[in-house]
Every structure is written in structure tokens, then in C-alpha cells.
Structure 1
């Protein structure tokens, strides 16, 4: 009875593993599925054969029993080869008729394995076969195997359980119906019992089969976990690509607005200049001579229009330079022209440059700095601070903005801090991405390409430094740029190298 239960447990577990492997193979591409079908078939053949062999060892006739090991091994090969053919036909073609053909071949392989094993089962006695049970066992195996493959191809919630149950019934039903067809009359004295080594052999076979089946299950779990991780990574990549596409679409919308505005100004005032002489002449009375007053008025208008054209042209040039800078940085073609310069002089220059915009925004611009020299690309450092200071003035609605430069160990620390509206935490990482702004284009009165912070981040990295941001909504924002100071050290090293 123990061996019968062991055979049933092995059959149920093996059928469950086979169902999982088969259903997993159906989800793969044809090339990948081929390997999984072979793994399913080998696992199936071993599970079927071991179930049969352990159940045979549980059969105890009153006569001596031996095994023909050649035929016994042949029954194992029949189980594996027949399972391979049936599963491949059903899985690779995935049609109803091929599923029936595969199920029939699978059922016949189970039957052929069983009866080959029975022939290998040598017993001293007269053997009689009940043909009704024999035919019924073969039909039962074919029908239930076909049903199992149909269940395996379904997408329902309980499809795996249904395939497991049907396949286990096919194996167990074939074996016990086939054993009911087997009758033996011993030719020796009664009371004979087979040796206990049969029980030990059954345990060894069961353990070996369980290890092989577990190996197939372990392979399935590992591959399935890897596939799920790949799916997660692909979803993340898809989401990132979607966000990037959306950001670029928003960028194109903003860029078209940013380019259109200065171009409209340039075209408008250029048109005024083109027609200025005609408008001035049209204002004269008949026979009125052109006086110095007219020339002065004409000159004032020309100067005013020219200034507005220049301002719009500078704005347009800034946008184009940002695009070119970002492109060159992306292509790793940025070149740094390192020189030694005073950090305080750079801050004073920027404060003077932005005083007009600060007054326009009703903000107080202050600078604080230590007396020290920086060995870096002055133009690129100025570009970083222009981006940070320009953002603070345009977007923060701050009443006070401070620029600082201080020496922290071997690092030059540049800070731009404001007491403006601040930014939510979820925006603090996004703002350094290209084409991203903390505010959307329709909320930002001053617009912008969304490239300034991305360029600043990459320029800081090119100096082997970094840039970070701290912000609290309603309190303010602070950008911190850390660059390797090394004013004297790098200069000394370069002088040493030159020497």
C-alpha cells in the first residue's frame, strides 16, 4: 500500500510540473518553445515511467518475479520518445486536430510503455490477458491525454489544475485498468513473497524521479522569474520612453513658441524699419522741407526699433546656443578651457549683468564669496550660474536671491538660493532631465527650452563635479554646484607635467 501511495504522489506531482512546463512553453516564441517542449517531454516520460515501475513493484503475486532490464529500459525510452512526439505535435502547431493527434500519440506512448514494462515483468506462472480491460486502458489513456492537452492550451484560471488532473488520471487509469487485465496463475508453491530489496529499489527510483522532476520545476521557476524581471524592466523602459516622448513633444511645443516670439518681433520691427522713410515722408505737409527735427525723430525711432530687434535676436541666439550646447554635450564633444580665475569676480560680473532683470522682477540680488581662485572653465562656470540665476529670477517669484562662492576643503562650492515658491519633491529629480520643466509651458510666463538645468548638470559632470537641489514648497530653493577646486594643485601638476 505504501508503494501505491508513493506512485500516486509522484504521478500527481509530476503531472503538475508537466502542466506548468507545457503551458509555459506555449507562451514562448517557436524557437524558444522547442527547448521547453523537450524539457516537458523528458519530464513527462520519466514521471510516467517511474509511476508505472513503482506501482509494478507494489504488485505482489505468489510467485517469484524478475525483470528483463533491457525491456525495462526500452519502456523508459518509449515513454520519453512518445511524449516528445506527442507534445511537439500538439504544441508547435496549436490546432485542434494536431492537439488530438498529439494526445493520441501521448496516450499510445503511455500504453506502449506500460505493456512493454509488463512484458519485462517476468513471473513464474501462467499469464492471461483480459482483452476488454486491455483495450479500455489504451482508450482511456488516449482520451484523457488528449483532454489534458486541450486544457493546457486554454487561458482559464484553472487550466493548469485541469491539465494536471486529466494527465494524472490518464497515467493512473491506464496502469490500474491495465493491471486489471493481467491475471497470473503461479506454477510454484504458494506463500512466496518477493524480497524487500524491491521496496528499496522503488524508493531509489522515486527519489531519482523526484529529483529530475524538481530539476524541471526549478528550471521553470528560474526562467519564469527572469522573464518577469525582464517584463518589469521592459515596462520601466517603456514608461521612460513614453515620458521622454511626451517631454520632447512638450519641448517642441515650447520651442516653437520660444522661436516664434523673437522671430515675430524681428520681422515686425524690420518691417517698420523698411517702411519708416515712407511713413515719415507721408507725415510732411505739401512742400514742407525735411528738417533736422525730422531726422532726429527718424533716428530715435530707428534706434528704438533696432534695439528691440537686437534684444529679440539675442533671445533667439540664446535658444539656439542652448540647443547646440546640449547636442555637443550629448555627443561628448564638450571641451573645457581651464584657467585660474577669482570666484568673487565671476559673481560680481553676474550680479551686474542681472541687476536689470532683478529690478524688473522686484527682487534683491546679493552675492557672498570667499577670496579664492578656481581652476576651471570660466565660461562654462558662468553658463551654469546664468542658468541657475535666470531660473530663479524667471520662475521662483522670489523677493531675495543670493549667490555664494566658498571653499569647502578641496571643493569650490557655488550656490544660488532664493526665497520663492519652491518645488515639490517629485520634481527635484525630473528638472535635470532634458526638455523637462517644473512648470508646464502654459503655466510659465517666461517659457524656456527646458535644457538649462540639463546642460548645467552635464557641465558640472564634465568638471568632475556635481549639482544638486534642495527645495521646500512656499519657502524657497537652493542649487549647489560642487567643482574640484584644485587651483594651485592642478596648476602645479600641469606645470610639473609641462616641465
Structure 2
């Protein structure tokens, strides 16, 4: 809408300048002056009339509205012209030819309607066609109107000259034209800057959409692999269990009596298969839980059950849970935390720490992993620090994005859906806190989880380590 007003204002002032520049060429052998109040009134009429006409034609839509806007525009510039002519005071007898006066108004309104029709219609060279038609309307109005203006000068001294009035109106017109040029340049710079910013925003939005689409495609590919692997294990071992009886019976001779040993063998095999099915099912359940968790958080359905719990006990529980994996990876877990009682969601806090420690063991190639808890000014924070391979600076900003994995091909063997850190981020934000990361390639990574949690009590720090 603002561009309609700017266009209309520019058109009105330009038409007004055109009229009075043409008046400067109309010099009679008689004293002449300009009534400044009426001259200014003609400028206001041009601006307001042009604004109303263009806004009506441009914003309302429809042929009738467009024609109405053109008529308003034509009548406005006609009113501006004849108000300007009334402001032109000449010492002589003035008469009007009504035919030319009426014809000038018809030219102005008809050609204005045509110009706005071409502008609203669009298409190739529409702006150029509209400009030509509007120019024709202004010229036809002015010179037909001047033909209707007839003056019989009174006798005056032949040496009479009246440069002051013409100089004044020339300065006014020149100043107005200068303002138009400056305003046009300013509008050009603003429009160019706005267009460039819009293009940049669209480019960023396009890149973000492409990145999100690519990440989701990669996620679906990874997810299909992650789901297929445990499902294949479950189906495979379930098939073995279904055929276990027949398989065992086929190994028994015709005269061999089934003994307790046979039952023990069947039981041992069933137990082994059951454990592997349980492990694969647990892995499958964790993947599904991650997806459901993230979906729920995206829908703002995150529910937190805040209650008091011991920070040190929580960290010890995490360390105990990863003892087996730490031994396999040749890593040592260290726990350092004062005995603080926090008020937060314990299960969600445990989920965050499990994700962070699990990632450190699977992807960092670290030999030392530190789990720390400490009080800070605004609450409490957990830290998970390792001395592993680190994360590249360009990846630090996107590791918390959903469906994103930045591991190399070697680490891809560890699996994962790319939702773990995204879930940690949302859980931390849900507590009113945040999660940040600092990393140096070849030296390690530190994740800090900040909770604005009330601290109930504090005792001396307790250190523990497990190989």
C-alpha cells in the first residue's frame, strides 16, 4: 500500500511541475503574477486526487473500480490545471472557450482511464505503455486547456517587464522538481536494498528448506537401516526358537531317550536367543522412543515432572550404566560432583546425560570422559567432557539440528538417528535452561547443560572413577 501512495504523490507533484513549467513559456505582453495560495492549493489537489485515483484503481480490482480510479485521476489533474490557471493573474480581459475546456477534461479522464488500465493489466512493456498514455493525457489537457484560455491584454508600457513573478514560480517549480528527484533516488535505494534483503532472505529460506529436506531424506535412509537391523535380528532368532524343538529332535537317535541334558541344551539355546531378541528389541524401542519424544516436543507436548533428586547419585548412575561400553572402548569414566539436591525432572536429566555420554563413547574415540556437576550463579550445570577427536567448528552450530549427523564414514557404523542432541536441546530449553558445546579438534569436546534449578543443600565434593 505504501508504494501506491508514493507513486501517486510522485505523479501528482510531477504533473503539477509540468503544468507550471509550461505556464512559464506562456508569456503575454501584459503584467502577470501568481496567487501563491491558489498555486499551493493546485499542488495539494494534484497530490490528493492522484493518490485517491491510483489507490482506487490499484487496490480495489475489477473493471469498474479501475475506470472509477482513472476518472478520479483525470478530474484531479483537470482541477489542478484550472486552479493553476485561476492562480495565474494577468492584466487583461480573460474569456474561456467552453468547448475546449470541456474537451480538455474529456481528454484527461479518458486517457487517464486508459493509462491505469494498461498499468493494472500488466504484461510486457505495460509500464512503458502506461507512461506514454499518461503523458498524452497531461499534454492533451494542458494545451487544449490553454486553447480555452483567451486573454486580451490591456494597454501597458511596451517596456514593461515582470521578471520577479516568473522567477519566483520558476524557483518553486525547480525546488519541487529537485525534491522529486531526491525522493526518487531515495526510493530507488530503499527499494533496491529491500529487494536485495528479500532476495537474501529467500535464498536463506531456500537453502534452509533444501538442507532440511536433505537432512530428512538422510534421516529416513538411516532410520530404515536402524529399524531393519534389530527387526532382522528379532525375526531371525524368533525363527530359530520356533524350530528349536524340531532341530533338537532331529539330532536324537531312534533309540535314544530324551534326557535332562537335552532339555538343558534346549533351555540354553532358548535363553541365548531370548537375550539377543531382548537386546535387539531394546535397541528398537529406544529408536522409536527417540522419534516419539522428538515428535512430542515439536508439538509442544513436553511434560516435565520436577522433583528433588541428588545430582551426584544421578551422575554415578550414568557412569555405572556405561561401565561395560567404557571397558570395550578402552575409556575411563570420572565423576566429580558435590552432593546437591536439585529440583528438576530426574528422568529427563538422566536422558540428557545418557545421550551425551553415549555419544562421547561411540564417536569421540576418547580415553578419558569426565562427568561433572557444579553450582553456578543462576542454578546448576552438568558437564560431559572428553579428550577425544573433537568437532569441527563449522559443525558446532548444526549438531543440535534434528536429523543431522556429522560423523565420518568410520563412525557411521555406530548407528544413530541424529535425534539425540536435538532432544537434549529441547529438554534443556524445556527446563528453562540451555545446552552449549565447546570443542577443539584433536583435544576434545565439552557439553554444558545449564538448569536454572533451585539447590536445596550442598556438601563437600565427591570424586569417583571407574576403569
**Normalised-by-shorter TM-score class:** 0.7 to 0.9
- Using the TM superposition, give the Cα deviation of residue 150 of structure 1 relative to its aligned residue in structure 2, in angstroms: 8.8
Q: Could you say if the C-alpha distance between residues 339 and 162 of structure 1 is closer, same or farther in structure 2, counting changes exceeding 3 Å?
A: same
| Residue 245 (1) aligns with residue 206 (2) | no
Listed as ranges, the matches of 1:326-337 within 5 Å are: 326-330=294-298, 331-337=300-306
Shift of 1:254: 1.7
1:243-283 per-position Cα deviation (integer Å, ceiling 9, x unaligned): 22332222222222211111111111111101100000011
Distance (Å, rounded) in 2 between the aligned partners of 1:193 and 1:54: 19
1:345-404 per-residue CA deviation (whole Å, 9 max, x = no partner) reads 33333222212112222x222213143223133322221111011111112223333323
* Residue in 2 that maps onto 1:52: 19
Tell me the residue number matched to 1:340.
Answer: 309
Counterpart-to-counterpart distance in 2, 1:183 and 1:407? 94
Query: Is the CA contact (8 Å cut-off) linking 1:75 and 1:114 kept in structure 2?
Result: no
Moved more, 269-278 or 286-295: 286-295
CA contact (8 A) 1:75 1:113 kept: yes
Work out whether residues 311 and 373 of structure 2, in 8 Å CA contact, stay in contact via their aligned partners in 1.
no
Deviations 1:445-494 (A, max 9, x none): 1211212112212222333332211122233222122334632269xxxx
Asked if residue 465 in structure 1 is aligned to residue 433 in structure 2, the reply is yes
In structure 2, the CA distance between the partners of 1:214 and 1:196, relative to structure 1 (3 Å rule), is same
What pairs with 1:2-401 in structure 2 (closer than 5 Å)? 36=3, 39-57=6-24, 59-65=26-32, 123=90, 188-189=155-156, 190-194=158-162, 196-204=164-172, 206-207=174-175, 211=179, 225-226=193-194, 229-330=197-298, 331-343=300-312, 345-361=313-329, 363-376=330-343, 377-401=345-369
* 2:97 equivalent in structure 1: none
Structure 1 residues 414 and 456: CA distance shift in structure 2, 3 A: same
CA distance, structure 2, for counterparts of residue 381 and residue 70 of structure 1: 77
TM-score by length of 2: 0.73
Deviation at 1:85, TM superposition (A): 6.9
Corresponding residue SS for 1:196? helix
Structure 1's 280 and 404: CA in aligned 2 closer, same or farther, altered over 3 A?
same
Q: Is the 8 A contact 1:422 1:474 kept in 2?
A: yes
Matches within 5 A, 1:395-414: 395-408=363-376, 411-414=379-382
Q: In 1, Cα distance between the equivalents of 2:44 and 2:388?
A: 79
Distance in 1 of aligned mates of 2:124 and 2:195: 19
Cα deviation 1:189-242 (Å, max 9, x = unaligned): 411112624423443455456557766776676566556545544443443333
Tell me the secondary structure at the aligned position of residue 264 of structure 2.
helix
Distance in 1 (alpha carbons) for counterparts of 2:195 and 2:234? 57
Range with bigger deviation, 417-426 or 204-213: 204-213
Work out the CA distance in 2 between the residues paired with 1:259 and 1:117: 83
Deviates more, 1:379-388 or 1:307-316: 379-388
Contact 1:411 1:485 in 2 (8 A): yes
RMSD, matched Cα: 5.2
Q: 1:122 to 1:349 in 2, by over 3 A?
A: closer
Contact 1:347 1:367 in 2 (8 A): no
Does the residue aligned with 1:467 lie in a helix, a strand or coil?
Answer: strand
Q: 1:421 to 1:70 in 2, by over 3 A?
A: closer
C-alpha separation in 1, matches of 2:454 and 2:47: 76
When structure 1 is superposed on structure 2, of 178-187 and 226-235 the one drifting more is 178-187
Tell me if structure 1 keeps the 8 A contact 2:433–2:451: yes
Mapped partners of 1:294, 1:82: distance in 2 = 102
Q: Is the 8 A contact 1:406 1:414 kept in 2?
A: yes
